[in-house]
């Protein structure tokens, strides 16, 4: 997906069907969530713990971190830290990051699949 960030226009496909074509900036601008990037000891377990939390729109692995999609990063960052702390998962960092094309793609394909 890194290459898609540098393209002038991209299209998202799912199951052989073109969902939409737009610029990466347009896709990101239309993304309805804020993204919190969390670095922690056990990211797979953290993903399992955070995914069912009410209000969390999605949790995805991104390299050695996880991206958590929420309505408000300012409101949710301390909540997510507390959930992980309560479950014995040490959080190295948690910060808001701009959505990536991959964040948007995962959202759009899930949305189209439901």
Instruction: Out of 7-11, 18-22, 94-98, 106-110, give the one with best mean pLDDT.
Output: 94-98
Cα angle 39, 102, 71 (rounded to 5 degrees) comes to: 65
pLDDT for position 114: 57
Q: How far is it, in rounded angstroms, from Cα 68 to Cα 61?
A: 9
Q: Give the model confidence (pLDDT) of 29-78 as tens digits.
A: 999 999 999 999 899 999 999 999 999 999 999 999 999 999 999 999 99
Domain 32-98 belongs to what architecture?
Answer: 2-Layer Sandwich (3.30)
Q: Where are the domains of the chain?
A: 1-31+100-114, 32-98
Q: Calculate the CA dihedral of residues 26, 27, 28, 33 and round it to 10 degrees.
A: 130
pLDDT for position 61: 96
**pLDDT at residue 90 greater than cutoff 80:** yes
Q: Is 63 left (phi over 0), alpha (psi -120 to 50) or beta?
A: left
Q: How far is it, in rounded angstroms, from Cα 113 to Cα 104?
A: 14
């Amino acid at each position: 997906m890194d290459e898609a960030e540098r393209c002038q226009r991209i299209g998202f496909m799912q199951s052989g069907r073109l969902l939409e074509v737009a610029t990466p900036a347009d896709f990101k601008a239309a993304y309805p969530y804020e993204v919190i990037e969390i670095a922690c000891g056990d990211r797979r377990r953290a993903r399992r713990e955070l995914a069912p939390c009410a209000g969390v729109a999605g949790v995805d692995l991104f390299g050695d971190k996880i991206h958590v999609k929420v309505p408000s990063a300012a409101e949710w960052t301390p909540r997510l830290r507390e959930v992980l702390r309560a479950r014995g998962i040490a959080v190295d960092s948690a910060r808001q990051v701009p959505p990536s094309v991959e964040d948007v793609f995962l959202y759009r394909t899930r949305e189209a699949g439901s």
